[in-house]
Structure 1
Amino acid sequence: MKNYNLRSTDEHLNNLTSWLPNQTVSERLANTGFNIKYFEKLPSVINHCLPLLSALLERYDSRERCFIFNGIKCGFFLEDVYYCTGLPVDGVEVTGVVKSNNDEKEEICRMYLGVSGLLTKGKISLKNLRDRFINAEDTDYYTRAYLLYVIGSFIVPDKTGRSVDVMFLEQLKDIDKTGTFAWGAALLAHLHVELETASESSLAGHSYSLMIWAFLHIPKLLKLLPNTGRKGPDEFPLLVQWTNWLSLDLKNNFHKNLKSKFSDILDNLKDEDIVWQPYKNLQNLPNDHPQHRENFLCRTVLICYNEVVYHRPDLCPKQYGIDKPEYSGVRKEIAIYKKQRKLSGEIDWSKYTSEKGKVDYSKYIQEWKHRSESLLKEALGVEEHSGPTLSSTPSSIGNVRYDCSNTHFEDDEPEVEPLQPPPSEDATPRTQADASPKTPDDGHGSGGEEITWNTFYLAFSGQAHHSTG
């Protein structure tokens, strides 16, 4: 097991309170599905519980995309992203064209932001975005700049935590259509890749909701915090109230043994210690909730430009109230390849095919488009999932990982195991020692600067901040 002692995250949720959009922009974003009003409710200072995130990282299975606690599999899925953040998990995949030439990137900035000179090492500085546009008069330019700022600060922060990729302007060309994208799915794809490639001291991606997920599903963890010996908030989206509720507890003065105490709880966890369905009584759900709920149980690919991982709710059916899942009606998994290779020039990730034809990104796009055909069959009595449910046959799947600036590509034989149903309840539990180890650094970790792939956040509802533990 790799040892993690996180000293920071690259998720700067506090940035969002330093730039709240004007009323005109807020109203326009509300019409597209963006709920900027939540930002006004955020506390002025937000910190992560770094000892808990460190303990979670050590128990993350990068092959099955879930956490294993004392042989028990638990997953952070589309359902959790939706209820915590309010992001849509249904819609058009977040992908498109990536430019490698800085002159071309500058031209994109001039076209959609009305200015140039924003780039620093091929990316747009978050500070420059705020300083240049916070008083901008053109509503379109202001709105795009603000949304890019949110992406880089919270939705898919890169490893520097200070910049955002130009490529997301493609999703912002038509501001009125930005709400049609599955930003929650893109966020989750990016987070899974960052969980796999995190350094020993820093984690990128949106991890605050992961922390909320752990507290909700394993209430024993909350008992280790000084002031939270009570039930947590239950109003949608959870991120807003939880950032306020935990603000007094998540300061930087954690006891040095707090990580070991979290680890002890996780390593001795029993089934009865877990709240498998913590969202049953969630309040203030939006009207479009049923539309997104249908995607909770899809076993499909999650896409954020070059990043592709599998969504595996089939591994944790209890999280959906399914005691006896059926695995007969799901489409066979497609292979996702793993090997580093460099590409150059302009790349359209929605159409990319490798020279030898091993990798065809259009297959990933089609897999997402047909996600409703990979659903776990609905179990009786699961009232909160009245939509279709997911039927799947699990196997181990890798991920696709690229570096946008150097455009690394993984193109090797797929690591796909024979399709087998998960073990029965009376089978020998899988221990943490049996879990697939985290993939060793293959050039995507701490070596060299890396452009991470931002995902979009629709109903913005929380932020996180660098903190030490």
Structure 2
Amino acid sequence: MIYYPPLVERWRSETHIFHLLCGECTITLEDVALHFGLPIDGSAVTGISVIVESAALCYNLLGASLGDDKSNFSNLKFTWLKANFEHLSINATEEELMCAAQAYIMHIIGGVLIPNANNNRVHLQYSPLLTDLPNVRSYSWGSTILAMLYRELCRTTKSDGIDIGGCLVWLQSWALYRMPFLASISHQPYVFPLVNR
């Protein structure tokens, strides 16, 4: 069970704060940095907004692209990433290893860090950030995750909001750590009364 609905109900878009019976609280950049170990300062994570030649962009990054019938696309399905990069041969070249690493990072971005509401695709706008893998750490991924989560919480509190995106697994983890009273079960170790006498 994900514990975000009680939080969404108490989110205030005007102040970006949860209003709870025990007081007000919000997620900070420090929370994101400590939980994920991702940088919170550095270059902004921005992507290209208009993808002209998506097949070429995909091929340059991953060494593979969707079929010719789908030459104009803006995101990649996780099923396609898995089918093309799940297994590497023993004799994989360094280029094949880099492509597989970039595909894995794209999957992490779209599946964990910055997922959309339907959570089965990753947008190609992030792919240019991965062309220089040693430079990836210089981006402020933590602030992007937090900004996307704030945006999703604000969007979901509106009357027409029906779904939520963003890093909900992290939101659940943060909520259980900061507000353990939200947990429906005790996280105490189980005691065997007959054994521990």
Which one of the candidate residues 47, 69, 75 is aligned to 2:20? Answer: 69
Equivalent residue number for residue 180 of structure 2: 219
Q: Output the CA distance in 2 between the equivalents of 1:66 and 1:93.
A: 23
Answer whether contact 2:39 2:141 (CA < 8 A) is retained.
yes
Equivalent residue number for residue 183 of structure 1: 141
AA at the equivalent of 1:161: N
1:98 alignment partner, SS class = coil
Query: Deviation above 6 Å: which 4+ runs of structure 1?
Result: none
Answer whether contact 2:43 2:140 (CA < 8 A) is retained.
yes
Q: Output the CA distance in 2 between the equivalents of 1:115 and 1:220.
A: 48
Answer whether contact 2:76 2:124 (CA < 8 A) is retained.
yes
User: Offset of 1:83 from its aligned partner?
Assistant: 1.8
**Number of equivalenced pairs:** 177
Q: Output the CA distance in 2 between the equivalents of 1:131 and 1:211.
A: 30
User: Offset of 1:217 from its aligned partner?
Assistant: 2.4
The reply to whether residue 94 of structure 1 matches residue 45 of structure 2 is yes
Root-mean-square deviation over aligned CA pairs: 2.2
Cα deviation code 1:329-384 (max 9, x no counterpart): xxxxxxxxxxxxxxxxxxxxxxxxxxxxxxxxxxxxxxxxxxxxxxxxxxxxxxxx
Which one of the candidate residues 151, 161, 165 is aligned to 2:119? Answer: 161
Equivalent residue number for residue 75 of structure 2: 123
| Identity over aligned pairs, percent | 26
2:40 alignment partner, SS class = coil
AA at the equivalent of 1:174: D
What's the TM-score once normalised by structure 2's chain length?
A: 0.80
Answer whether contact 2:44 2:140 (CA < 8 A) is retained.
yes
Which one of the candidate residues 92, 100, 107 is aligned to 2:56? Answer: 107
Equivalent residue number for residue 101 of structure 2: 143
1:67 alignment partner, SS class = strand
The reply to whether residue 85 of structure 1 matches residue 36 of structure 2 is yes
Q: Output the CA distance in 1 between the equivalents of 2:162 and 2:34.
A: 28
1:97 alignment partner, SS class = coil
Q: Which has the higher helix share?
A: 2
Cα deviation code 1:137-193 (max 9, x no counterpart): 312211111110111111111122110011111110101111111111111111111
Structure 2 unpaired stretches of 5+:
190-197
User: Offset of 1:64 from its aligned partner?
Assistant: 1.2
Which one of the candidate residues 183, 187, 190 is aligned to 1:228? Answer: 187
Answer whether contact 2:55 2:73 (CA < 8 A) is retained.
no
AA at the equivalent of 1:207: L
Cα deviation code 1:123-143 (max 9, x no counterpart): 111110111012243122111
Answer whether contact 1:60 1:67 (CA < 8 A) is retained.
yes
AA at the equivalent of 2:48: V
Answer whether contact 2:116 2:166 (CA < 8 A) is retained.
yes
Q: Output the CA distance in 1 between the equivalents of 2:14 and 2:125.
A: 28
Which one of the candidate residues 125, 132, 135 is aligned to 2:84? Answer: 132
AA at the equivalent of 1:210: L
Structure 1 unpaired stretches of 5+:
1-48, 231-469
Equivalent residue number for residue 399 of structure 1: none
Equivalent residue number for residue 6 of structure 1: none
Q: Output the CA distance in 2 between the equivalents of 1:202 and 1:96.
A: 24
User: Offset of 1:72 from its aligned partner?
Assistant: 2.6
What's the TM-score once normalised by structure 1's chain length?
A: 0.36
Answer whether contact 1:99 1:105 (CA < 8 A) is retained.
no
